[in-house]
Amino acid sequence: MGDQDEQGGSVAPFIPDAGGRVIRRQWHAGRWFFSVVDVVAILTDSEAPRRYWSDLKRKLHDDEGFSELYAKIVQLKLLSPLDGKKYATDAADVETMLRIIQSVPSPRAEPVKQWLAQVGAQRLEEAAAGLDEDQRRQLLRGEVADKNRSLADTVSVAGIITTRDFAVFQDWGYKGLYAGETARDIATRKGLAKGEHILDWMGSEELAANWFRITQAEAKMRREGVDNKGDANRTHYTVGQAVRKTIADLGGTMPEELPTPAESIKQVEQRKQMRLEQEAHQRIQPPLFGAGEADQNS
């Protein structure tokens, strides 16, 4: 998505008339943070984006929830495009920035949101780039598990609390992404035994699609303040459909058409653990003969 570096910024070419504006970002506390004033500049095309952001902060000061939002904004020293020096700048992570965008009426809001989501996912892709397929699967499976726990916390405010509620909610997401298939349908198609988890039998590409579904569903529900089961399920279905459409638009393979790996992730991990144990045993295994005896018999 343009020229990028952790200390500088990244050009936002997704907006034809952005005039070469830059959104500066920095990797901080395990995630990307973006310059708020840079995003405001692109959204508003203002010649004085700092003043706009200052006025917006005052306007939103008394709004319910803004204090909590503002507490998540951090000051980071970012390079100024004017003089090349670093100055303390308001910066926000993807989730917080998406909430800020809601307060700025702009026809550019949607493409900016999409770009933020893609850049937020980029770090995970970079981490997986140097790994083999088994390692990518393990990395992504762990990320999916973490995001599912976060998603469960988010949808609890919508009354999705029990294991059954969450399973139904997840099925709506799967149906959107897999053209109507539920988790049980996916398991049956993959030929899984009872108790085997479908996520353990996905390759890295399929896991990545589900990771994107989960992260975007959570972000959308937070942005829109979804507070009931019906809307939560519909939102998850819509996000699943949107991810599926993105795959189609990119010419990718639909998730239900991707091959099922020969081994589950648990089997991969067990095989890896056995190898590590064997290597450790070989390192501590004493020689059959003492050093002196070995020399005499050589």
Categorize the per-residue pLDDT at 3 as very low, low, confident or very high, splitting at 50, 70 and 90. Answer: very low
Mean pLDDT within 156-181: 97
Cβ atoms 10, 25 nearer than 8 A: yes
The pLDDT assigned to 284 comes to 65
* pLDDT tier, 17 (very low <50, low <70, confident <90, very high otherwise): very low
* Longest distance between any two alpha carbons in the chain, whole Å: 89
| pLDDT value of position 6 | 40
102 has pLDDT over 70? yes
**Alpha carbons 273 and 275: distance in angstroms, whole number:** 5
pLDDT tens figures, 189-236: 999 999 999 999 999 999 999 999 999 999 899 889 999 999 999 999
Total-model pTM: 0.60
Between 30 and 5, name the one with better pLDDT: 30
By three-state DSSP, how is residue 35 classified? strand
State how far the Cα of 39 lies from the Cα of 22, in Å rounded to an integer: 8
